[in-house]
Amino acid sequence: MKQYQILRSIFPKVITDNFNFVDYRESDSTLEYWLDESEYMSREDYKKGTVRPYGFTEPKTIQDFPIRGRSVYLHIRRRKWVDRSTGEIFTYNFDDLTEDGSKLSPEFVAFLKEED
């Protein structure tokens, strides 16, 4: 089994499809993963020809399902883009990274709600 297949079985599809794993740290109580958004732009922006990568946002930390009794934290940096024709700096939106009003993954929130 390839590493990508293993990651797809552990992390949400939105993560494995749109982000690259760049670092990992493990302690007795936590697993932490650092991810950067892939350099993939929308078809519309690609056709414009004026949109270019412009660095990353500050990392956002999301708590996901525990693995083997350890807390799991995803440190996610979103890619910033600049449209050189307008000077606009923007990011693409992934609505399903966290549950509204929390720093938890939607799957983790659904699991916790089931326990109530």
Q: What is the per-residue pLDDT for 112?
A: 57
Ranges of each domain in the chain: 3-115
pLDDT tens by residue, 70-101: 999 989 999 999 999 999 999 988 766 655 55
Beta carbons within 10 angstroms of residue 56's beta carbon: 14
Computed over every residue of the chain, the mean pLDDT equals 82
Q: What is the per-residue pLDDT for 99?
A: 54
Q: Is the pLDDT of residue 105 over 70?
A: no
Q: What is the DSSP string of 24-87?
A: EEE-SSEEEEEEEE-S---HHHHHHS-EEEEEEPPPEEEEEEEETTEEEEEEEEPEEEEETTTT
CA distance 80 to 107: 26
pLDDT tens by residue, 10-68: 887 788 888 898 999 999 999 999 999 999 888 898 888 999 999 999 998 988 878 88
19-26 vs 30-37, strand pairing mode: antiparallel
Residue 28 exposure: Cα atoms within 13 Å on the Cβ side: 0
Q: Which helix (H) or strand (E) holds 89?
A: strand 88-90
